[in-house]
């Protein structure tokens, strides 16, 4: 028997073994023997891990978690979900779309208010970027954002959309967020904040897409540009200025629209950062140690990253909160 044939036979045997074990465990769960089944899953997990059967361990824990979720056994399901992450971490598994989708599915089935859900998503995002200190894989952020959007947790959804590359999805969520939770007078502020924050993350493409999609689809915004709302005109001009990169245009634009920019004290903070990233404005000097340290880190980490796009920009030590 050739080596490839041997590997296929071995894989088939392993798969058959996993299926037989899963059948017994499912029977225990269906009988209501949740504790016994949970402990057996854990025993098998450590056995597979000791034998370096990482793929089998991950598959067994994932399917076990789904099974426990289907019987509303949240604690057992959450525990097996964490073991899925443990396999990924210890086996140094490479990021694949299917794995990210599986993690997002586990997240979607967890109790929305459970502390385990917070721990799970934090650990999953860390794994998705190899523990490098970045803020997580854009695809995983996008999947999490969609789940939270369905749960009408718009604030958390917006955070994850910001760290994805899905400007269109973000805009559609913001339209719903504005229509259901915002005042009519604030329709322009919902998208302005998102555009400015995307630009602070050096994600020009998503900033443009979220603006064009939001202004096109929002029922309370008349077709533009130009727009009735001055703040929307400012954002439109800003996106054009970012493409041009001329500091004088940026400076005049910010001066002319100060009445609109004063509606939110954070706007000028965001624009200071955007000025540094796109128009060569030097960081503001601050008398405090923290400010000097922040400026130093920005000067070290905030340059020479254009080719790496939004993901690399997420490592910048900006003092601006994007929540």
Quote the CA–CA distance of 308 and 294 in Å, as a whole number: 21
Burial code (b: 16+ CB inside 10 Å, e: under 16) for 141-164 equals bbbbbbbbbeeeebebbbbbbbbb
Which of 31, 100, 18 is closest to 64 using CA atoms?
Answer: 18
- Over residues 163-195, the pLDDT tens digits come to 999 999 999 999 999 999 999 999 999 999 999
- Residue 290 has a pLDDT of 47
Residues with pLDDT less than 70, the chain? 1-17, 131-133, 286-323
Asked if omega into 2 is within 30° of 0 (cis), the reply is: no
Burial code (b: 16+ CB inside 10 Å, e: under 16) for 53-68 equals bbbbbbbbbbbbbbbb
Nearby residues of 293 by Cβ (< 8 Å), 6 or more positions away: none
- Residue 135 has a pLDDT of 84
Quote the CA–CA distance of 123 and 126 in Å, as a whole number: 5
- Residue 130 has a pLDDT of 78
Residue position matching structure tokens 């790496």: 308
Quote the CA–CA distance of 113 and 297 in Å, as a whole number: 36
Tokens of 185: 């007078």
Residue position matching structure tokens 């749960």: 151
In order of their start, the domains of the chain are 186-300 (1.25.40.10)
What is the chain's percent helix, strand, coil content, to nearest 5? Answer: 75, 0, 25
How far the first Cα of the chain sits from its last, in Å, is 58
Quote the CA–CA distance of 148 and 62 in Å, as a whole number: 21
- Residue 20 has a pLDDT of 82
Which of 95, 97, 301, 100 is closest to 202 using CA atoms?
Answer: 301
- Over residues 106-138, the pLDDT tens digits come to 999 999 999 999 999 999 999 999 765 578 999
Quote the CA–CA distance of 30 and 205 in Å, as a whole number: 50
Nearby residues of 72 by Cβ (< 8 Å), 6 or more positions away: none
């Amino acid at each position: 028997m050739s080596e490839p044939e041997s590997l296929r036979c071995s894989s088939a045997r392993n798969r058959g073994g996993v299926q037989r074990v899963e059948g017994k465990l499912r029977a225990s769960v269906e009988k209501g023997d949740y504790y016994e089944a949970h402990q057996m899953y854990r025993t098998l997990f450590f056995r597979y891990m000791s034998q370096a059967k990482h793929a089998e361990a991950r598959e067994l824990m994932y399917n076990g978690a789904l099974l426990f979720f289907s019987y509303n056994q949240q604690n057992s399901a959450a525990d097996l979900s964490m073991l899925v992450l443990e396999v990924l971490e210890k086996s140094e598994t490479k990021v694949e779309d299917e794995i990210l989708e599986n993690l997002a599915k586990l997240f979607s089935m967890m109790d929305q208010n459970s502390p385990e859900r917070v721990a799970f998503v934090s650990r999953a995002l860390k794994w998705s970027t190899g523990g490098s200190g970045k803020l997580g894989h854009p695809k995983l952020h996008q999947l999490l954002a969609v789940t939270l959007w369905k749960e009408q947790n718009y604030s958390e959804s917006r955070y994850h959309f910001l760290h994805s590359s899905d400007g269109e999805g973000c805009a559609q969520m913001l339209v719903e967020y504005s229509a259901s939770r915002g005042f009519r007078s604030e329709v322009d502020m919902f998208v302005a904040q998102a555009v400015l924050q995307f630009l602070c993350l050096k994600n020009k493409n998503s900033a443009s897409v979220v603006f064009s999609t939001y202004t096109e689809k929002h029922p309370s915004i008349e077709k533009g540009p130009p727009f009735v709302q001055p703040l929307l005109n400012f954002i439109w001009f800003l996106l054009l200025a970012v493409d041009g990169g001329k500091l004088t245009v940026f400076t005049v634009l910010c001066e002319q629209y100060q009445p609109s920019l004063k509606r939110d004290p954070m706007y000028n903070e965001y624009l200071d950062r955007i000025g540094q990233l796109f128009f060569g404005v030097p960081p503001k000097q601050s008398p405090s140690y923290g400010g000097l340290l922040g400026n130093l880190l920005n000067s070290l980490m905030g340059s020479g990253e254009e080719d790496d796009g939004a993901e690399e920009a997420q490592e910048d030590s900006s003092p601006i909160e994007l929540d």
